[in-house]
Amino acid sequence: MDEYDELFEVEDDFEDQFADELEVLAEMEEKNTKVGKGQQQQDTSDIEHLLDDQPLTPKAKRQKQDVGVVKRLFNAAKESKGLSKGCDITPPSSPEQYEPSDAIRSASALLDLSGLATIPDTPARPPTAAPASLHVLKRPPLEGEFITVTDSSGSRVYLRQKEESESKVVESRMVPNSQGSLGLLAVPVGVLREQEADRRHQQVIEESQRLTDLLTGSVNDVFAEPESRGEDENEDTEGGACRLWVEQFSPRHYTELLSDDFTNRCLLKWLKLWDTVVFGIERKSRPARPDRQAPTQNKPNQNQNRFKSKVEMTEELLEAELDQYKRPRFKAALLSGPPGLGKTTLAHVIAKHAGYNVVEINASDDRSAEVFQKRIDTATQMKSVLGANEKPNCLIIDEIDGAPAAAINILLATLNRKDGHGGEVGTEPTKQQKKKKKESILLRPIICICNDLYVPALRPLRQQAFLLTFPQTQPSRLAQRLAEISLRQGMRTDTGTLMSLCEKTDNDIRSCINTLQFLHGRGLKKVDTRTIQCVSVGQKDQNKGLFHLWQEIFQLHRVKRKRIGEAFEEAPGSGGGAQRFQHLLHLASSSGEYEKVSQGLYENYLSMRVRDPNLESVCEALDWLMFSDRLNQVILHGQNFTLMRYLPFLSVTFHFLFAHTHVPRISYPHSQQEATSKILTSRNALSTMLADIPACIRTRISQLSLTLDVLTLLLDIICPKLRPVNPQLFSSREKEQMRELIDTMLAYNLSYRQDRTPEGQYTYLLEPRVEEVVRFPGLPTRRQLTYQAKQTISREMEQEKMRRAEQMMLQRNPKREGDKKSEGPKPSRNHEQRLENIVKQTTVESRPEVDFFGRAVALKPQRPQPSSDSGEKNAELCMGTAVGNSDVCFRFNEGMSNAVRRNIYIRDLL
């Protein structure tokens, strides 16, 4: 009975703890009665009520049936609104008001109700029952309207027209045209429709009957005497043999969910945010937080308290205002978490709970772009008008992390789709949606579910979705549920066993239940810890991440303290050598990333706290590392992949050599990667240097000799002592030295490049950066040249380079240079090329005039020309006229002046 109490406590606390949900539930209940939407009412306190009833009913057997019937009725009443209106049973607002006697009464009423269903089946039978005789009369009634009916034998009866509906149902065959309308069918459409509705209702009732049986069975199993269990068991085995327990016991109500309450609540709240747009209900702002109402206040609010916990942040997100279409800010929710925590179940339960019809797309569906688009559109823009589930759709995209990026892009496009007519917002979104054909905005919630949140394809979605990460299921809750299940299935277990099962499966609900069913299927009626430990199922074959593996390798688990009464087995990590061996081998081989694992081992093993004065285990570890390195080499070079099976043993060896009870501090192995990149940069610097070294030196040095012999000394050699004076003032010996230095640097393709440090100082750096290649840290620094010296060298080098380039030019085309020189001096030198001279040339020197065809024209002496001797004198005069009115046109050539044009060679300057 202890467990019973425990369970009860939980149920009692429920009201206090989950006020939020209850509020939402109450709200919904209200809405149910008001709006009359045909959604499945969530009755949180069914079980509670039943439990309350239990002590009052010592006669379990009979009473139980009654209770079941009550339940059935209750469900039926909820699910078939039309019919439940017809009969006079109204569902009480709170089940607590039930009295046992009441229940019995209503049960009989229900029996009537179900009996009623037979009537439409046989509508032809003339009413013979006592109440019918009240209506069928042999002679015309004295008062009220009546109808005469004559049958085939000729006898006439009179029917009193009392209540329209009743007479219609009962005598529909007899009086086909009772309404005065002519029908083609023998049975009027109304009747047929009702018949069909009844049939469907019957189905619903049957189903709910089954469910209630299950439920009551479970409740009874837990609390009733074992004698009543026998029956249930038989029922269950016949029904449940073919079904997975996971299916069978999956939660159907919000309160049955095992996942973290906060997560559940968040998702539910998010889904409720859609109510405004989907159901057209105005969202009630909470009286407790009036400041949230004003949207303008929202933003400063967020800015003020910037540092909020994650929980608060999520709350904030949920409280945020709706957008212009009254949709929540995040159009999609993205649930993430490891498998078996109940993500899919949660999504389904909550969507149903909030009154949606669930449409699921998962990995087993075709998720190519077109199909995906089509399905999203169908799900979000259409609505089933036939059938019982006339509810808005809620799209659940399961296993989205496996979807192709194209599909996710389509989803994103759907989320971001803008309305064609941005401003107007219809009062009834559903109508608006119907009007729109293709460009309509998303008006239905989408819930995405994934295991790995950080798949590259999901990156854009992550920013636009309401993220919910699933925490681990609490083992106590899981164990409790397992206990219920095993009790119902007649397995004998205890909490310790179930806890160890939870531990083994890492709180994976699915895996736990499957393991239980497996054990059950093998005929085990009693499960204890040992069985759980020995059985090899239930362990998930998933890699746990490198850090976990390294931790397992380096940590020796302590033997867990024994629980009272029974011996409690150790965790898989501890225990005997063989067991540890197997465990680690399993872990290592399932991880598969041998390269990374061995890197991590190599980087961390020396910092483990192991007493190893003689370095024996270190040597052995290194031997193993060498072995695995060789193995790798053989595998990669010879494609001999069968040898890979020997790789995981490295981890096992390290465990036996270095495992310690302390929690190891493990760092991620970076050094190999860093070393590789450093080597690459060094190589690049060297090859840049080698690339431009002239061939005669290039033959003598290789990269290897450069690093080993030449470079260090070369760097010394190019740092001579220079007097800090102008190079013009150097002595001849110094000049010679300088020349040699520059020669050397040019020969080895070294140069100084001016660079600016972040502090704003200028420095000269040796280019290519070979200094880093040969200098080692911790050694005395070599002498460096001063900034001035480097500057001088750099300048001199530039000059030398120019000189050489010119020489090369000369060597390459000496002919042209000679040609130019042999051409002789230009007719006029620069200083003579003045404007007056040019003008003089043009004006004074008369050119033979030519006509249009280039023929010389004989000048006609119209005006007396200035004589040739006076021409000299009158030049200026001529010029004046020339500028003014002659046919010489002057134009200023911008950017070009003859005054400075002169050929100068580098050698003249340097």
Partner 1 sequence: MSLWVDKYRPTSLGKLDFHKEQAAQLKNLVQCGDFPHLLVYGPSGAGKKTRIMCLLRELYGAGVEKLRIEHQTIVAPSKKKIEINTIASNYHLEVNPSDAGNQDRVVIQELIKTVAQSQQIQSSTQREFKVVLLTEVDRLTKDAQHALRRTMEKYMSTCRLILCSTSTSKVIGPIRSRCLAIRVALPSTEEVCSVLTSVCKKEGLLLPPELAKQISEKSGCNLRKALLMCEACRVQQYPFSADQDVPETDWEVYVRETANAIVSQQSPQRLLEVRARLYELLTHCIPPDIIMKGLVTELLNNCDGQLKAEVAHMAAFYEHRLQLGNKAIYHLEAFVAKFMAMYKKFMEDGLDGMMF
**Which region, left, alpha or beta, applies to residue 101 given φ > 0 means left and ψ of -120 to 50 means alpha?**
alpha
452 binds partner 1 (CB under 8 A): no
SS3 call for 148: strand
The residue among 198, 211, 199 whose CA lies nearest residue 40 is 211
441 binds partner 1 (CB under 8 A): no
Of 176 and 720, which has the nearer Cβ to partner 1?
A: 720
Instruction: For tokens 């067991």, name the residue.
Output: 579
Which amino acid is present at 76? A
Of 85 and 630, which has the nearer Cβ to partner 1?
A: 630
Cα gap 559→633, rounded to integer Å: 40
Buried b (16+ CB within 10 A) or exposed e, 272-285: bbbbbbbbeeeeee
The DSSP annotation for 508-570 comes to -HHHHHHHHHHHHHTT-SB--HHHHHH---S-------HHHHHHHHHBPPPPPPPPSSS--PP
695 binds partner 1 (CB under 8 A): yes
Of 668 and 890, which has the nearer Cβ to partner 1?
A: 668
Of 708 and 810, which has the nearer Cβ to partner 1?
A: 708
Out of 132, 134, 537, 615, point to the residue binding partner 1 (CB under 8 A): 615
Query: Binding segment for partner 1 among 198-206, 444-452, 537-545, 711-719 (CB under 8 A)?
Result: 711-719
679 binds partner 1 (CB under 8 A): yes
766 binds partner 1 (CB under 8 A): no
Residue 360 token pair = 């699921």
133 binds partner 1 (CB under 8 A): no
811 binds partner 1 (CB under 8 A): no
186 binds partner 1 (CB under 8 A): no
Query: Binding segment for partner 1 among 353-361, 639-647, 702-710, 867-875 (CB under 8 A)?
Result: 702-710
On the question of a cis peptide bond just before residue 768, with omega within 30 degrees of 0, the verdict is yes
Cα gap 51→253, rounded to integer Å: 17
Out of 703, 807, 865, 870, point to the residue binding partner 1 (CB under 8 A): 703
434 binds partner 1 (CB under 8 A): no
Helix segments in 748-866, DSSP class H: 771-774, 787-812, 814-822, 835-844
713 binds partner 1 (CB under 8 A): yes
Cα gap 425→428, rounded to integer Å: 8
C-alpha 792: how far from chain center: 59
626 binds partner 1 (CB under 8 A): yes
Out of 193, 434, 678, 801, point to the residue binding partner 1 (CB under 8 A): 678
Query: Binding segment for partner 1 among 400-408, 676-684, 794-802, 877-885 (CB under 8 A)?
Result: 676-684
Query: Binding segment for partner 1 among 263-271, 416-424, 630-638, 894-902 (CB under 8 A)?
Result: 630-638
775 binds partner 1 (CB under 8 A): yes
Query: Binding segment for partner 1 among 146-154, 226-234, 508-516, 599-607 (CB under 8 A)?
Result: 599-607
647 binds partner 1 (CB under 8 A): no
The residue among 481, 524, 478 whose CA lies nearest residue 502 is 478
716 binds partner 1 (CB under 8 A): yes
Q: How far is the CB of 654 from partner 1 (least distance, A)?
A: 13
Q: How far is the CB of 607 from partner 1 (least distance, A)?
A: 7
Of 565 and 780, which has the nearer Cβ to partner 1?
A: 780
Out of 453, 717, 766, 906, point to the residue binding partner 1 (CB under 8 A): 717
Q: How far is the CB of 794 from partner 1 (least distance, A)?
A: 17
532 binds partner 1 (CB under 8 A): no
403 binds partner 1 (CB under 8 A): no
- Cβ–Cβ under 8 Å, residues 501 and 516: yes
Q: Which pairs with CB-CB distance under 8 Å and at least 24 residues apart come from 174-179? A: 174/126, 174/149, 175/147, 175/149, 178/147
Instruction: For tokens 């009052």, name the residue.
Output: 56
Count CA within 13 A, CB hemisphere, residue 256: 19
- Cβ–Cβ under 8 Å, residues 280 and 375: no
The DSSP annotation for 639-683 comes to T-GGGGGGTTHHHHHHHHHH-BSSPP------HHHHHHHHHHHHH
Query: Binding segment for partner 1 among 17-25, 165-173, 214-222, 741-749 (CB under 8 A)?
Result: 741-749
178 binds partner 1 (CB under 8 A): no
675 binds partner 1 (CB under 8 A): yes
Out of 47, 549, 773, 875, point to the residue binding partner 1 (CB under 8 A): 773
778 binds partner 1 (CB under 8 A): yes
In Å, what is the CA distance from 581 to each residue of 552, 575, 606, 621?
A: 11, 10, 21, 16
**Which region, left, alpha or beta, applies to residue 864 given φ > 0 means left and ψ of -120 to 50 means alpha?**
beta
795 binds partner 1 (CB under 8 A): no
Q: Which residues bind partner 1 (CB under 8 A)?
A: 602, 606-607, 612-616, 618-619, 622-623, 625-626, 629-630, 632-633, 636, 671-672, 675, 678-679, 682-683, 686, 691, 695-700, 702-705, 707-710, 712-714, 716-717, 719-721, 739-741, 743-744, 747-748, 773-779
